[in-house]
Amino acid sequence: MRLVAKTKAITDTQHGATPHSSERIARAFSKQPALVAYVVCGDPDLETTRDIILQAISAGAGIIELGVPFSDPVADGPVIQRGSQRSLENGTSLLDVLRLAKEIRAQSDAGLIIFSYLNPILRMGLERFCEMAADAGVDGALLLDLTVEEADEYREVMEKHRLSTVFLATPTSPDERLKRIAKASTGFVYAVSRTGVTGTNDKLAADAQQLVRRIRKYTKLPVAVGFGVSNAAQFAQIGEFADAAVVGSAIVQTIENNPGRAPQAVAELIGSLTGTNRSAGVGR
């Protein structure tokens, strides 16, 4: 199924048509395992973020999660909280993130997912957000604190604008809820590898593989594993049972540790994870 979607997307592009968002996502997952890279937009500034994203794509990231900074990021650990704070101090808004997405889309056909809490979307207005996201070439969105039980209107408007939905599944989710999450997701399912907040870990949580196995009972969509992926061994391990690994805190930490050379450092990190640049060190 993914191969068919990939072929159709390439054909559409060759004929000058714009690929539908789900086709771009399918194409990203045609490489196994895919790497999904999360960045806090506006950290350290929007121009640098653009360069970081383009370098990350060149280094092998198939999907970029465009993080919208938020003042109370309850699901994020200290690394991403610091990145959000730096971005907010620069005045970065959801509108800025959508403008950045449009710039990236003009230069790349990688998957683009808006990664946000619900409040910035509500402040902009759901309809306006979806219109602007579609116009910018965004493929979909993941709203961290929007539960699947309360997402009916959101799903309807997203579908109207041909935007993919991504929902989080956790190890503590009962099977009936996993079934609802799988049904509500149209892009991919984000499997949270452990309970708690984001952050790097030396070892992959044992619950991750079991969670992916449970999700697969209810959907044929790709499953991406995140929360704590920070080294090549974890990336390879995830590739044995999931379709992608999400790398977030390690990227934000790399940006923080490398003022003046963040784009290059992030590219080196991604190369080290995927094995395309074995001399690069994680978190340099």
pLDDT, tens digit, 9 for 90 and up, residues 221-279: 999 999 878 889 989 999 999 999 999 999 999 999 999 999 999 999 999 998 876 34
Based on the residue annotation, tell me whether 76 is a catalytic residue of this protein: yes
Query: Which candidate in 76, 96, 139, 243 is catalytic?
Result: 76
Q: Dump pLDDT digits (tens) for 185-234.
A: 999 999 997 554 444 455 565 789 999 999 999 999 999 999 878 889 98
Q: Where are the alpha helices (DSSP H) in the chain?
A: 2-14, 21-28, 46-59, 78-89, 94-105, 118-124, 126-136, 152-160, 175-184, 207-215, 232-239, 249-257, 262-274
Query: Strands of 140-143's sheet, edge to edge?
Result: 164-165, 140-143, 111-116, 63-67, 34-40, 244-247, 223-226, 189-192, 167-169
Question: Which of the listed CATH numbers 1.10.10.10, 3.40.50.300, 3.20.20.70, 3.40.309.10 matches domain 2-272?
Answer: 3.20.20.70
Q: Where are the domains of the chain?
A: 2-272
Nearest-angstrom CA–CA distance, 51 and 208: 32
Here the tokens at position 76 are: 């994020």
Check pLDDT > 50 for residue 167: yes
Average pLDDT over residues 56-79: 91
pLDDT at 228 (0 to 100): 76
pLDDT band at 12 (very low <50, low <70, confident <90, very high): very low
Based on the residue annotation, tell me whether 65 is a catalytic residue of this protein: yes
Lowest mean pLDDT among 100-104, 161-165, 204-208: 204-208
Nearest-angstrom CA–CA distance, 107 and 104: 5
Query: Which candidate in 43, 65, 96, 268 is catalytic?
Result: 65
In this structure, the number of other CB atoms found within 10 A of the CB of residue 259 comes to: 10
Nearest-angstrom CA–CA distance, 19 and 10: 8
Check pLDDT > 70 for residue 19: no
pLDDT at 279 (0 to 100): 40
